Amino acid sequence: MSQKPFVSAQEVAERAGVSRSAVSRTFTPGASVSPETRRRVVEAADALGYHVNHLARGLMLSESGIVCLIVSDMGTPYRSSLIRAVTQQLQDAGKIAMLINTDRSDGSVDLALRQAIRYRADASIILSGMPDKSITQLCLKNGQRLVLINRDDDQEGPFRINLDDAAAAGRLVTAFLRAGCRRLAFANSEAGTPSLMAREHGFIAAAKAIGLEVVVERYGPTGYESGRVLAQRLLTQSERPDAVFCATDLIACGFMDAARHQFSIAIPGQLCVAGFDDIEQAAWSSYELTTFAQPVEAIAREAVTWLGKDGSDDPAERIHSVRLNADLVWRSSIRGG
Amino acid sequence: MSQKPFVSAQEVAERAGVSRSAVSRTFTPGASVSPETRRRVVEAADALGYHVNHLARGLMLSESGIVCLIVSDMGTPYRSSLIRAVTQQLQDAGKIAMLINTDRSDGSVDLALRQAIRYRADASIILSGMPDKSITQLCLKNGQRLVLINRDDDQEGPFRINLDDAAAAGRLVTAFLRAGCRRLAFANSEAGTPSLMAREHGFIAAAKAIGLEVVVERYGPTGYESGRVLAQRLLTQSERPDAVFCATDLIACGFMDAARHQFSIAIPGQLCVAGFDDIEQAAWSSYELTTFAQPVEAIAREAVTWLGKDGSDDPAERIHSVRLNADLVWRSSIRGG
DNA sequence: GGCACTGTTGCAAGCGCGTGCAAATGCTGC
DNA sequence: GCAGCATTTGCACGCGCTTGCAACAGTGCC
């Protein structure tokens, strides 16, 4: 690398024949600079290819503009669409996203948060496993703000964005009923995250309320393959279910594929299926899956606007939690509608 | 926010009863510190919750450890899997990824690169539209390294990772032929990126070499919906093709769905279909799509190891381009195999 | 004891920036 | 011409860190 890779404000100042402070002020909104000085600075800056060093600026302001996204399974349709929405909104708000992958081990969320602290990220948004309580405390103590999406953690301090999973699951029971279904089943993964469990419990509770039992099966990670295995298990039972709520669209896709191609079951003729997330594939005509839409854009907006608020106001008064609802998207994997 | 959100090396030094330099050296690999001092520093650091400020370190070393990922369509299966692989490899190499979304306008890649410069990113990896030549020059002048993935740009300076799109497409002609297909078609988007065009031209050329004509249709962006429209166009022609190469798996999925559900065409019975990318959905049993696998991990490895190399050696000798090949993954959307 | 040598440590400079403070400038009104 | 004021500019400091340099302590050997 060459000696002077980046051009500094000093050099711009010299070329423009002003002081370095003038340069700094030119690029600081709201600072007092005469039009003439500004013109000369901008000209010199363009000529030299100058760009404010955000590292140094972050050092001064103790506000880096960096927000950490801590994510697992980011190849997954739902996750990637959420990442997309959040980064876009962050950019619109003048911030920038750092991406940390936590697929490896379980302590990797903690490692990721440490990394976030090292880069003095203003905040971290967590879309994956739950961080240790000690770590979140460390973050908060370091002045870093925390957003938990669908983590449903009851810790104090972080801002939590959740869905009304249970309520949504409850509404689905009614829908199945209207379609004439009686033998309900729930296909879940073994991940056991709060949102998945809320869907399961909400579904069971609503069914019980009208006197119906739910067959629950859990298997593997939250993905397509698990859906196939779950179909294997649920569709070979003596009394085969006529309605299955899959905890996730990916599971639902696997389930439907196995049901149709392996067991030759007609959907929705002999079996109604619903999912959760409304991933792009749910709308594909091989699935036409009735599902609950994750309000991805709303989640992202909620997170970013909260970050935009100044944290200096009364902490007791600050909102620490928001619950959004997931709308049911009707497609033909359930009869009627 | 409180007065002193972050704890500095100064405070650790005071608590440990050593100088600030000792603290710094403790966290600098290869520096000379006695075991006793190190122990006391680490102890004090843990007690106070100290973390090296990478912003300040980046300022000193003029090496931030930040790598910018500049991406469009990141909700897309192929893109998100690539993002996943790259961020993971970057982390393994001790670097960190910044994510910039360029879905909005066309000049947004330039804006993104400017942002990368502001944060003194060591490098930028571009997975979306092509940046202006003036901007890439700006990056290089600023000592920033550039990786272009599947951009096939012929600029000097950036490191370019490409696939042998044309060669792969050529091999596919043979495969179609062996399946007894004669009326070949190519379904492309209107995006016109170098890799898409290379697939198209490679396919046409290989077909021509054995005396076959290819019907080419182009429509819209590179996605599922375009596949449906392309099916509409290609399957209503007087002489319906019996083999279609879709420029992308997403297009292929849309194409297959339309072919089966709208035109009741049997695949692979009456029509053979192939795609490109090997996204997860290609393996789903509703598609079983024969396709070319993007060597995602290899691409990521290639990019990250190049970044790891010291750029200070002879620039004339440095490798600036790599071409990987895409293996054909056989599934049942083509007869035989 | 004196010497050369190795291994540690503290000092201080500087990375590029924002900003409080005081000096300088320009302008108005008497 | 001068006081009074608003606006602009430069100086200098500090954000948290790394590192060259010099001082220092410890060791083995003559």
- Tens digits of pLDDT across chain B (337 residues): 344 668 899 999 999 999 999 999 999 888 888 889 999 999 999 999 899 999 999 999 888 999 999 999 999 999 999 999 999 999 999 999 999 999 887 778 888 888 899 999 999 999 987 777 777 887 888 888 999 999 877 777 889 999 999 999 999 999 999 999 999 999 999 999 999 999 999 999 999 999 999 999 999 999 999 999 999 999 998 899 999 999 999 999 999 999 999 999 999 999 999 999 999 999 999 999 999 999 999 999 999 999 988 655 555 556 788 999 999 999 999 998 6
Q: What is the CA B9 to C1' C3 distance in angstroms?
A: 38
- pLDDT of residue A311 exceeding 70, the answer is no
The tens digit of pLDDT for each residue in A33-83 reads 888 899 999 999 999 989 999 999 999 998 899 999 999 999 999 999 999
The whole-number pLDDT of residue B320 equals: 83
Q: Are A206 and A170 in contact (CB under 8 A)?
A: yes
CATH superfamily name and code, A165-294? Response regulator (3.40.50.2300)
Scanning every strand, the nucleotide with its C1' closest to A27's CA turns out to be C18
Nearest Cα neighbor of B315 from B172, B143, B148, B171 is B143
DSSP state for residue B18 in the 8-state scheme = S
Nucleotides of C under 7 A from a protein CB: 7-12, 14-20
Averaged pLDDT, A212-216: 96
Search chain B and give the residue with CA nearest A311: B1
Q: Which residues of B touch A104 (CB under 8 A)?
A: 88
Scanning every strand, the nucleotide with its C1' closest to B60's CA turns out to be C15
Search chain A and give the residue with CA nearest B286: A257
Q: Which residues of A touch B297 (CB under 8 A)?
A: none
How many residues are recorded in chain A? Answer: 337
The whole-number pLDDT of residue B156 equals: 78
Residue A239 to residue A39: CA distance in whole angstroms: 80
Q: Which residues of B touch A280 (CB under 8 A)?
A: 75, 224
Q: Which of A1, A87, A284 is closest, CB to CB, to B257?
A: A284
Mutation site for B-interface testing, chosen from A69, A73, A88, A96 by largest number of B Cβ within 10 Å: A96
Q: Which residues contact A3 (CB under 8 A, 6 or more apart)?
A: none
Scanning every strand, the nucleotide with its C1' closest to B7's CA turns out to be D16
Q: Which of A1, A77, A101 is closest, CB to CB, to B312?
A: A1
Residue B88 to residue B37: CA distance in whole angstroms: 34
Residue B56 to residue A139: CA distance in whole angstroms: 19
The tens digit of pLDDT for each residue in B117-132 reads 999 999 999 998 777 7
Strand partners, A321: A160
Averaged pLDDT, A185-202: 95
If one compares B316 and A327, the residue with the highest pLDDT of the two is A327
Topology match between the domains A64-162+296-324 and A165-294: yes
| Residue A257 C-alpha, separation from nearest chain B C-alpha, in angstroms | 6
Q: Which residues of A touch B285 (CB under 8 A)?
A: 228, 257-258, 261-262
Scanning every strand, the nucleotide with its C1' closest to B19's CA turns out to be C10
Scanning every strand, the nucleotide with its C1' closest to B13's CA turns out to be C10
Residue B67 to residue B330: CA distance in whole angstroms: 36
Would you tell me the crossing angle of helices A108-118 and A133-141 to the nearest 10 degrees? 10
The tens digit of pLDDT for each residue in A85-130 reads 999 999 999 999 999 999 887 778 888 888 899 999 999 999 987 7
Do B59 and A75 count as a contact with CB atoms less than 8 A apart?
no
Q: Which of B66, B88, B254 is closest, CB to CB, to A101?
A: B88
| Residue A118 C-alpha, separation from nearest chain B C-alpha, in angstroms | 5
Q: What is the CA A195 to C1' D28 distance in angstroms?
A: 69
Q: Are B325 and B293 in contact (CB under 8 A)?
A: no
Do B286 and A281 count as a contact with CB atoms less than 8 A apart?
no
- pLDDT of residue A313 exceeding 70, the answer is no
Q: Considering just the CA atoms, what is the radius of gyration of chain B in Å?
A: 25
Structural domain spans, chain B: 9-52, 65-162+296-324, 165-295
The tens digit of pLDDT for each residue in A281-302 reads 999 999 999 999 999 999 999 9
- pLDDT of residue A246 exceeding 60, the answer is yes
Residue B335 to residue B182: CA distance in whole angstroms: 13
Scanning every strand, the nucleotide with its C1' closest to B62's CA turns out to be C15
Q: What is the overall mean pLDDT for chain A? A: 91
SS3 B133: helix
Give the helix/strand (H/E) hosting B322: strand B321-324
Local confidence band at A2 (pLDDT 50, 70, 90 cut-offs) = very low
- pLDDT of residue A217 exceeding 90, the answer is yes
Do A76 and B80 count as a contact with CB atoms less than 8 A apart?
yes
Nearest Cα neighbor of A68 from A90, A53, A49 is A90
Q: Which residues of B touch A96 (CB under 8 A)?
A: 98, 100, 115, 119
Name the fold adopted by A9-52.
434 Repressor (Amino-terminal Domain) (1.10.260)
Do B285 and A261 count as a contact with CB atoms less than 8 A apart?
yes
Q: What is the CA A5 to C1' D12 distance in angstroms?
A: 27
The whole-number pLDDT of residue A70 equals: 93
Search chain B and give the residue with CA nearest A103: B88
Search chain B and give the residue with CA nearest A98: B98
> Would the Cβ of A10 be found within 7 angstroms of any atom in strand C?
yes
- DSSP states of B49-113: T----HHHHHHHHT---EEEEEES-TTSHHHHHHHHHHHHHHHHTT-EEEEEE--S-STHHHHHH
Q: Please state which of the four CATH numbers 3.30.420.40, 3.40.50.300, 3.40.50.2300, 2.40.180.10 is assigned to the domain occupying A64-162+296-324.
A: 3.40.50.2300
Q: Which residues of B touch A143 (CB under 8 A)?
A: 1-2, 5-6
Nearest Cα neighbor of B151 from B137, B163, B139 is B163
The whole-number pLDDT of residue B108 equals: 81
Do A75 and B77 count as a contact with CB atoms less than 8 A apart?
yes
Q: Which residues of B touch A254 (CB under 8 A)?
A: 284
DSSP state for residue A19 in the 8-state scheme = -
Do A5 and B101 count as a contact with CB atoms less than 8 A apart?
no
Alpha carbon B254 to chain centroid distance? 23
Name the fold adopted by B165-295.
Rossmann fold (3.40.50)
Note the CATH number of domain B65-162+296-324: 3.40.50.2300
User: Encoding tokens for residue A153?
Assistant: 């953690």
The whole-number pLDDT of residue B311 equals: 59
Q: Which of B49, B114, B286 is closest, CB to CB, to A141?
A: B49
| Residue A61 C-alpha, separation from nearest chain B C-alpha, in angstroms | 12
